[in-house]
Amino acid sequence: MPPNAEIKAIVFDLDGTLYVSQQFEQVVWQSASRYAGDLLGVAPEEGGRQLIRLRQQLTAERGTLQTLAVAIETLGGTVPELHRRFAAELEPHHHIEPDPRVAPLVEALGQRYTSWLLTNNNRTLTEKILVTLGLEAAFERVITINDTWRPKPDESVLDEVLEALGHGPEQVLFVGDRYDIDLRLPAERGCPVLLTKTVDELMALSALL
């Protein structure tokens, strides 16, 4: 992030950014593996193995990290069905232990900047995760996959976000844990970006601003 950037708004990612939970990642993966298995007519374990191989192949071919949704679509599935399963099968509060430092940080930043959430997660799970984190009222706007069915990275979604915010790209900070998914397109548009893979790295945001 440029040290002299005049930030007016912050767009946060959710999963892996405002919390980190390998346990929840695992149950998400198990659900996706079951869907892949159903699509391929194989057991969930084999569906998961083929999903891993396909994501690796697509990432190598395209030169950037490819999302789980892209791999599922390549197998013949759909993003809405993937997230219908996630919403029906997963209970994030069983697997996520919130870090008590996150909510005060996000709330304090929200008093100084326009604060939005842009996530590839679905509305149902996003709302449950935000309640678990104590952040259900922290964001002026929450944009989930249900709003567009176009997962990040997507140029049209990014352009819609920047237009709706009404600030120049150089005034909108994007914060996320996956550069290719959350930050590459904003950076190419001229937005400052911050890559955070741990809560400790996220906490540095206050000092940076």
Looking at the fold, whether 80 and 168 belong to one and the same domain comes out as no
- The domain that holds 198 is classified in CATH as 3.40.50.1000
DSSP 8-state symbol, 161: H
Q: Is 107 exposed, middle or buried (0-12, 13-18, 19+ CB in 10 A)?
A: middle
**Starting at the edge strand that comes first in sequence, how are the strands of the sheet with 193-195 ordered?**
141-143, 114-118, 9-12, 172-176, 193-195
119-158, pLDDT tens digit by residue?
999 999 999 999 999 999 999 999 999 999 999 999 999 9
Residue position matching structure tokens 């071919």:
61
Query: Of 61, 76, 94, which residue is a domain's last?
Result: 94
Full domain range(s) for residue 30: 22-94
Alpha-carbon distance of 175 to 20, in angstroms, equals 14
Q: Tell me the two tokens of residue 38.
A: 């159903």
Mean pLDDT, range 158-179, rounded to an integer: 97
User: What is the band of 209 on the pLDDT scale with cuts at 50, 70, 90?
Assistant: confident
pLDDT over threshold 90, residue 4: no
Looking at the fold, whether 44 and 129 belong to one and the same domain comes out as no
pLDDT over threshold 80, residue 188: yes
Looking at the fold, whether 65 and 148 belong to one and the same domain comes out as no
Total number of domains constituting the chain: 2
* pLDDT score for 5: 62
25-81, pLDDT tens digit by residue?
999 999 999 999 999 999 999 999 999 999 999 999 999 999 999 999 999 999 999
149-164, pLDDT tens digit by residue?
999 999 999 999 999 9
**What beta strand segments (E) does 36-136 contain?**
114-118
**Residue 180 within any structural domain of the chain:** yes
Supply the mean pLDDT for the chain: 95
Query: Of 60, 94, 128, which residue is a domain's last?
Result: 94
Looking at the fold, whether 103 and 200 belong to one and the same domain comes out as yes
Q: Tell me the two tokens of residue 33.
A: 């593996």
Query: Of 59, 94, 129, which residue is a domain's last?
Result: 94
pLDDT over threshold 60, residue 3: no
Q: Is 166 exposed, middle or buried (0-12, 13-18, 19+ CB in 10 A)?
A: exposed
Looking at the fold, whether 181 and 129 belong to one and the same domain comes out as yes
99-118, pLDDT tens digit by residue?
999 999 999 999 999 999 99
13-23, pLDDT tens digit by residue?
999 999 999 99
